[in-house]
Each structure stands twice: as C-alpha cells, then as structure tokens.
Amino acid sequence: MDADLVVIGTGPGGESLANRAASSGLRVVVVEKHLVGGECPYYGCIPSKMMLRAAHALTEAHRAGQLAGTVTVEPSFAPVAQRVAEQATDHWNDAVAVKRLEDAGATVIRGTGRLDGARRVLVTPAGTSGGDGEIAIDARIGVVVNPGTRPAAPPIEGLAGTPYWTNREALQATAAPAELIVIGGGPIGCELTQVFSRFGTRVTLVQHGPRLLAGDEPEASALLERVLVEEGVRVLTDADPTSVTYAEGRFTLTLADGQQVSGDRLLVAAGRTPNTDGLGLESVGLDPRDITVDEWMRAGGDQAGLWIIGDVTGHGAFTHMSMYQADIAFRSITDAGGFSAAYHAVPHATFTDPEVGGVGLTEAAARAAGLTVRTGSTDLAASSRGFTHGPGAVGLIKVVEADGVLVGATAVGPAGGELLGLLALAVHARIPVETLGSMIYAYPTFHRAIASAIDDLHS
C-alpha cells in the first residue's frame, strides 16, 4: 500500500491528528490494534470521571443533609455502570470513531503496526499471526507513532496468577466490591479509591512511598490523605507489597513488614508501561527505552519522517498532552508553522473530592532546578467562600515564584481543576506576580484565595 501518512496507534492525539490530516486531503492510513481513541475514552479519563461524578453526588447528598434538611440516599452502582457502558464507551465499541475517520477519508486497518525502516510500516492484521496477511505500507511523508501505555505489573510474587483488576477491569465494574485493596496512590489509584469508597466499599490503599500523589506538593498529598482517612479509607504509606495469594474469592496481600491485607478485589494502579516494545523503533536507529523527540515531535532527526506523540514521550501522561503534541506534529507534517512544544506550564488534575490541580514546577522541583524561590499558600476553608460553602470546602492554594513570575502552582478544593485555569495562564504566560497581585478578584469566589496566596509569598 501507499499513503502520505501512516498513524500507528490512535490515542486521543493520534486520532485527532489522523482526522485532521485526512480532512486536509492527505492519504492517511490508521493502524489500531484495539480501540480508536485509546485509553482515555474507554478505560481512562471519561469513564473514571463519570464514576467520580456519581460518587461525589452521593457525598453531596449527604452534605445536603447538613445544609438543607433530611436527605436519604441509597447508593446503587447500576446507574454508574450503565452510564459508563452506554454513554461513555458505547459498550467498548469504537464504530463511531472509526466512521468519523473513514468519513474524513482515512483508511483504518485493525492490526498491530511496526516500523520497518524510514517511512515504511508493516501491519499484522488483527486475528492473524506468523506473518500471514502482513501488509506493507510505504508512507510518502512519514509515520506518526502514538502507542500509549498499559498498566504496569509490579514485581509482586504470585500476582500474575491472580484475577487482579487494572483500570480496565475497574472501569467495567458492574458492582462495587465489598472490600477492595488498591496498590498505588497516584492519581488513578486515588480516584478509584474514592469512587468505590463512596459507594460503600471498604478500601485499603497501599502506597509504596511516604505520601499519596507523589508528583504533587506535599501539602496537597497530606490534605487528600486526611480526607480519604476521614471518609473511612485505610491508607498505608511506605508499604511495600511482597506477595499476594488468591483463594476462595479473596486476595491476601503481604507487605514487607509482615502485615497482611485482604479483600475480595485487588486493583493494581502502580504505574504504566510504555507500548514501545515490538514497534520496530530499532529499525530507524531509535532505542525504545529512551525516546527523545524534538520540539516538533520529530524523532530520529528532521529527515527521518517520524513523529512520536503521547504518553511515551515522557512529557506528562495526559490526554491534553497527547492532543497538544498532535497539533504540533500536524503543523510540522504540513509545514504550517506556528508554535512548537514548550513544557514549562504543563497542567494536571486529579478528580478526587477535593480536586487536586497542579501546573508547572512544585517547590521541590523548582529548588532542585536551582531556582531561588518564594512560596505562598492559603487555606481555602478559611476563605469567605469556604466559610459560606460549609461541608466539603477543604482545600489550599500554593504558589511558587522565581524571578518575579510564578513557575508553579497548586489548587486543591472543590473544582480545584477549574481554579487551576487562572494559575496555568499565569505560569504559561509568565505574568509578573506584581500584576497578579494588582488584579481584582471577585468576592467571595474560591479563586480569590489566589490573591491571598500571592500576598503570602515569602522566602
């Protein structure tokens, strides 16, 4: 086959790039081994946020009881499972996404793709093996690779032989288990812990390091841990699982200190493994364990005809990063110019209640980078909005300043991810702190706390 462009793997970025390239008249071949759209719509962002919305609605109903009279709530997981299956994932069916690509003019091949030298792709069609029916595609302009990640399996003795959950099974759950062990206190582990806990599951959250959300500010980690513990989650930090057994429907996890934890489900959310094995990156002189892309997402030099985007580039495993990089790669492919990649203001949000949003550098990362920093923080509960809001108004704002501009910020609170917008703009556009301090912030909003955090800046 001949094409202008081949896209191997359609995470959110690969899918959008392929649609855009095909719509612009390029002959595009898309190679996808599972579902067009990748992890986010089927096993990630969208179904998890639907589950969180439901879990938070239950808690809000309880809070309404404190604010507005008697409320009786009987949790049921059935509407959650139904919404995820029918509205989010179309029963884990990508027909709509495939049709959108085909309508744009792309050819979609269901199979596993790998590079075979520059601008050449070999595809093993789904359902075939041993080279049967292999398709070779020559790409005039080049190849975009967007293979994403899969759940990592930590080296815990006995784990491989058990029916443990990853995010994939958890997001296809049709009922909340009675007792759940979650290994991993990153964003995915914390979000799913709160989902099931709020639906009545007794959850033990096992985190190998000293705190949850290790990539965020320690103050945010402490606050989230406090909230989860108050809600009844058992949080074990500095806990290293060494072995697991499964018998009669129960998992028993043994930790390095000899402690045992049991539950009827085990969710492993302990990091992600890049899908770079078997991609043929070596055939173009690249090391799959050390992928480097330039500011236009090009790999292997500007003449190699290869663009790599998404989680595997190591600039943040987020849908917005995949889409951002796809836009840059598309403009590179079509010589359209415009801005290239800059990563000083990468935002992220964890959609627990309270939400934890962060952008740019944490205080520790800024200091490690050799910056002379000042920090300021404020307690959201102590703000006027926190006072009027009442139950659920826990949170904080923390800002990190260097050379007169914010280099990082954290917003924890109800809609902390939305509060982040203003802070992300400040970090992205390097708005002087003096300007932020002279702004008028509407009273009594949560975002007004940003002014207090800026007032609090000290060495």
Ligand X SMILES: Cc1cc2nc3c(=O)[nH]c(=O)nc-3n(C[C@H](O)[C@H](O)[C@H](O)COP(=O)(O)OP(=O)(O)OC[C@H]3O[C@@H](n4cnc5c(N)ncnc54)[C@H](O)[C@@H]3O)c2cc1C
| Residue closest to ligand X (Cβ) | 148
Residue 427, amino acid: V
Q: Which amino acid, one-letter code, is at 128?
A: T
Task: Answer yes or no whether residue 310 interacts with ligand X by CB under 6 A.
Answer: yes
Asked if residue 31 binds ligand X (CB under 6 A), the reply is yes
Under the binding rule (CB under 6 A), the answer on residue 268 touching ligand X is no
> Contact with ligand X (CB under 6 A): which of 33, 120, 385, 389?
33
Token reading at 225: 């841990």
| Contact between 302 and 291 (Cβ < 8 Å) | no
The residues near 214 (Cβ < 8 Å, ≥ 6 apart) are 185, 186, 221
- Closest among 164, 171, 183, 227 to 51, alpha carbons compared: 171
Name the residue nearer to ligand X (CB basis): 348 or 389. Answer: 348
Nearest to 190 by CA among 355, 77, 361, 53: 355
CB contact at 8 A, 400 and 375: yes
Token pair 């000083």 is found at 344
Helix, strand, coil content of the chain in percent (nearest 5) = 35, 25, 40
Could you tell me which stretch among 30-38, 63-71, 329-337, 442-450 binds ligand X (CB under 6 A)?
30-38
Of 199, 318, 330, 446, which lies in the binding site for ligand X, with binding defined by CB under 6 A? Answer: 318
Candidates 74-82, 196-204, 313-321, 336-344: pick the segment binding ligand X (CB under 6 A): 313-321
Which region, judged by CB under 6 A, interacts with ligand X, from 95-103, 128-136, 143-151, 383-391? 143-151
188 vs 406 by CB, closer to ligand X: 188
CB of residue 106 to ligand X, shortest distance in Å = 14
Name which position in 3, 5, 6, 11 contacts ligand X (CB under 6 A). 11
Q: Which is nearer to ligand X, 33 or 385 (CB)?
A: 33
Pick 311 or 363: Cβ nearer ligand X: 311
C-alpha separations of 283 from 70, 141, 148, 278 in Å: 66, 17, 19, 11
Q: Which residues pair with 182 in a beta bridge?
A: 205, 267
- Contact pick of 112, 197, 204, 221 for ligand X (by CB under 6 A): 112
Is residue 327 within the footprint of ligand X (CB under 6 A)?
Answer: no
Coil, helix or strand for 121? strand
The interface with ligand X within residues 172-191 (CB under 6 A) comprises 188
Q: Is 383 in the site for ligand X (CB under 6 A)?
A: no
d(CA 354, CA 362): 19
Cβ-based nearer residue to ligand X, 113 or 300: 113
Interface with ligand X in residues 39-68 (CB under 6 A): 39-40, 43-45, 48
The encoded tokens of residue 86 equal: 């029918």
Tokens representing residue 303 in the block: 């003449």
Residues found near ligand X in the complex (CB under 6 A): 8-13, 31-35, 38-40, 43-45, 48, 112-113, 146-149, 167, 188, 275, 279, 310-311, 317-320, 322
